[in-house]
Amino acid sequence: MMSEKIAGGVTAAAGFRTAAVHCGIKLEDLDLALIVADKPASAAAVFTTNLAAAAPVLISKQQLHNSKGIAQAIAVNSGCANACTGKAGLNNARKMAEVLSNTVGCQLDLALVASTGVIGMPLNIEKVSKGIRKASHDLARDTHGSAAEAIMTTDPWPKETALRVNTPKGSFVIGGMVKGAGMIEPQMATMLGFLTTDAAVNSKQLQKALSEVTEETFNSITVDGECSTNDSVFLLASGVSGVEINEKLYEPFVEGLRQVCRTLAQEIVRGGEGATKLVTIHVTGAQSHNDAKRAARALANSLLVKTAINGGDPNWGRLVAVAGRARVSFKLSRASVKIGRTVLFDNEEVFSNRETEAAEHLSGDKVDIVVDLGTEGKHEATAWTCDLSTQYVHINADYRT
């Protein structure tokens, strides 16, 4: 498979248009986006594992169930999560879907909704409805950048990417956009994500591919260990390219989707609230994949590890301590820690004279850490996180006020 990164974000794939407006949920800035397929498309989604799931999550789940994995339009607002809002919230989410379907001219079951923002605040459905109607007049393929801006909350920048995949049967495109900066934890990956492709993929294949790739990408990131109420990732396939994803092309499709999702997942972490560094944590020497992933998650979520990285302190002892308490198979006598290219601890031998070299690596904006669990197992896993700075505290202390 040959692939190349291209411009266009969520509308790089043929058969999709977007629009974005300011409808008044936020005091200023864009706060509502539409993603519309020219025709009904195969659809798949993954949602939050939080038991306090928000109204739009519940409604979109039901819509996809009713349509048997077909969708045509998505409306997403920022500034208000429409979460923990009871029956009124569910009614507003349904109304949002109804207005969307009536406005773009698709069946009701094919209209999906998503929201992000403050929990517990009632959604002003009148403003959202007017925004949907207004945005429908601006649907185009070149408005993907504005759509990526409209879904942001505390994100420092919009996040989008796209990839063209070339196969012997022709080329297809996968693109997408995400939002996420805080309340990020790999229990779906606290975020909203919207992915599109012009490959021809049936709904069953699409769901299988999205679930598989999500586990390796969006479920492998963390900013603060918090799982939100609104996490959703949607994937729509228009089929416009004419490239049918059969058994031979399934793996190239999954790999292209993996590349797109990995890029977007890393962007979420890089743009985490108060983040100054993108941190890649790779765990090796595990007895099982579950052990490797569990240890990687524990290391990525450790406040002591994240603050040490922020301060440029090559404190390998914190890494060993977290690996040892991660409730996985661990053998201290054969464990090792590497920061960048520098081994600081190996087989119970400490290399204190190398800490200056490791500290220099920590001063950059990309940090790589490898922890071997010492069990001589063959399994490994990777997690992406960021450092923890005082800015994170300021952002979240002042979030509503």
Same domain, 174 and 40: yes
Same domain, 59 and 96: yes
Same domain, 245 and 284: no
Strand spans (E) along 121-273: 159-167, 170-179, 192-197, 232-237
Token look-up 């505290």 returns 393
Same domain, 299 and 180: no
- Which candidate, 153, 174, 171, 172, places its Cα nearest to that of 163? 174
Q: How many Å apart are CA 87 and CA 92, to the nearest integer?
A: 9
Strands 159-167 and 2-5: antiparallel
Same domain, 57 and 131: yes
Residue 398 token pair: 């002042």
Question: If 0-12 CB within 10 Å is exposed, 13-18 middle and 19+ buried, where does residue 238 land?
Answer: buried
CA 197 to chain centre: 17
Same domain, 130 and 207: yes
Same domain, 244 and 327: no
Question: For the chain (length 401 residues), average pLDDT per consecutive 10?
Answer: 93 98 96 98 94 95 98 97 96 98 98 94 97 98 98 90 97 96 45 96 98 93 73 97 97 97 91 83 98 96 94 97 97 98 97 98 97 98 89 69 59
Domain final residue, candidates 214, 235, 270: 270
Position 230, amino acid = N
Domain of residue 26: give its range: 2-270
Same domain, 182 and 250: yes
Contact 9, 160 (CB under 8 A): yes
Token look-up 């400490």 returns 350
CA atoms within 13 A on the CB side of 90: 8
Cα angle, residue 58 at apex, residues 209 and 103 outer, rounded to 5°: 90
Q: How many Å apart are CA 229 and CA 84, to the nearest integer?
A: 9
Q: How many Å apart are CA 233 and CA 267, to the nearest integer?
A: 15
Same domain, 89 and 185: yes
- Altogether, the residues listed in the chain come to a count of 401
Q: How many Å apart are CA 128 and CA 104, to the nearest integer?
A: 15
Same domain, 30 and 136: yes
Residue 258 token pair: 């993996």
Give pLDDT, residue 155.
86
Q: Provide the number of structural domains found in the chain.
A: 2
- Which candidate, 101, 353, 71, places its Cα nearest to that of 234? 71
Residues 6 or more apart in contact with residue 394 via CB below 8 angstroms: 274
Residues 6 or more apart in contact with residue 73 via CB below 8 angstroms: 34, 35, 36, 37, 100, 101, 104, 106, 110, 111, 112
**What DSSP string runs through 67-82?**
HTSEEEEEEEEEEE--
Q: How many Å apart are CA 161 and CA 173, to the nearest integer?
A: 11
Domain final residue, candidates 270, 303, 329: 270
Contact 261, 163 (CB under 8 A): no
Q: How many Å apart are CA 172 and CA 247, to the nearest integer?
A: 16
**Which residues are known to be catalytic?**
190
Q: How many Å apart are CA 144 and CA 10, to the nearest integer?
A: 6
DSSP category for residue 11: G
Same domain, 58 and 156: yes
CATH number of the CATH domain containing 188: 3.60.70.12
Contact 6, 164 (CB under 8 A): yes
Q: How many Å apart are CA 6 and CA 11, to the nearest integer?
A: 11
Same domain, 71 and 190: yes
Domain final residue, candidates 226, 251, 270: 270
CATH number of the CATH domain containing 305: 3.10.20.340
